[in-house]
A and B are shown apart, each in its own frame.
Chain A
Amino acid sequence: EAGVAQSPRYKIIEKRQSVAFWCNPISGHATLYWYQQILGQGPKLLIQFQNNGVVDDSQLPKDRFSAERLKGVDSTLKIQPAKLEDSAVYLCASSPYTDTQYFGPGTRLTVL
C-alpha cells in the first residue's frame, strides 16, 4: 500500500514570496491533516479536512495560509506571503478513522 506522498521535499524561498505544497493521501482515507513542525517542537495542526469539508482550521493563520482539498483526495497548502517564522517542516497525514494517522515525509521550507 502506497503511503502519503508530499512534494516538494525541500523548498527555499525569500520572505514575501509565495509557496505551495502538495499532498496525496493514502487511497480511501477520508480525513487529511496538515501540520507545521518548527525545529525542536512537536507538530502543530494547521487544518483538518473530512472529505472536502474543513473540520478544524482554528490554528491556521488565515491572513497568509490557505488550503484546499479538491474532490476529497489531493490537497494543497499555500503560504502567501511567506515570513521568516514560517520556516518549518510541513507534514501531511491521512486517516481512515480518527485514531490512526499516517504521516508523509514532509516538506522542509526555509524562508530567507
Chain B
Amino acid sequence: KQEVTQIPAALSVPEGENLVLNCSFTDSAIYNLQWFRQDPGKGLTSLLLIQSSQREQTSGRLNASLDKSSGRSTLYIAASQPGDSATYLCAVTSSGYSTLTFGKGTMLLVSP
C-alpha cells in the first residue's frame, strides 16, 4: 500500500526566504507526482505535476523535483511572500491506477 509522508508538518519563515518542502513515498512504482496548494476553507489547486519520467518541473517561483528511485520529491519556493501562506500537499498516482494518495501536508506561514 502506498504511503506518502511530508516533512515538516508546519513551517514559519520571514518574507523573502527560500524554502524547501519534502515529500517521500514508499512505493517507487508511481505514474506521476503532484503538488497542491490548499487555502483555508478552499479546495485544492494543482501547482505542479511531474510525470514519472521527468526529474523536475518549474512554474514561476516554484520548482519541484522528483527522485523516483529513492521515493522523494521536494518543492522549492523562491523568495517567499505572505501570499504563499497555505497548506501544501503532495500526492502520487501509482502505476496502473488513477487515484491519488495524499500526504498530510505542510502548513506554511510566511510573515511580512
A residues with CB within 8 A of B: 4, 31, 33, 40-45, 48, 55-56, 91, 93, 98-106, 108
- Nearest Cβ on chain B to A93's Cβ, whole angstroms: 8
Interface residues on B, range: 20 to 34
A48-B98 Cα distance, complex, nearest whole Å: 9
B residues with CB within 8 A of A: 4, 32, 41-46, 49, 89, 91, 93, 97-100, 102-105
Q: How many residue pairs between the two chains, A and B, have CB atoms under 8 Å in the bound complex?
A: 49
A102-B49 Cα distance, complex, nearest whole Å: 13
- Nearest Cβ on chain A to B97's Cβ, whole angstroms: 8
Q: Known contacts A40-B104, A42-B4, A42-B89; decide if A105 and B32 are in contact (CB<8 Å).
A: no
- Nearest Cβ on chain B to A10's Cβ, whole angstroms: 9
Cross-interface CB contact of A104 among B43, B100, B103, cutoff 8 Å: B43
B45 / chain A contacts, CB cutoff of 8 Å: 103
Structural contact, A98 and B41, CB atoms closer than 8 A: no
Nearest 4 Cβ contacts at the A-B interface = A42-B102, A98-B98, A103-B43, A103-B44
A101-B43 Cα distance, complex, nearest whole Å: 11
Q: Known contacts A31-B98, A41-B104, A42-B104; decide if A100 and B44 are in contact (CB<8 Å).
A: no
A42-B93 Cα distance, complex, nearest whole Å: 14
Structural contact, B104 and A101, CB atoms closer than 8 A: no
A50-B45 Cα distance, complex, nearest whole Å: 22
B43 / chain A contacts, CB cutoff of 8 Å: 4, 91, 93, 103-106
15 pairs, A vs B, C-beta closer than 8 Å: A31-B98, A42-B4, A43-B100, A45-B99, A56-B97, A56-B99, A91-B43, A93-B43, A98-B98, A100-B46, A100-B49, A101-B46, A103-B43, A105-B42, A106-B43
A48-B91 Cα distance, complex, nearest whole Å: 16
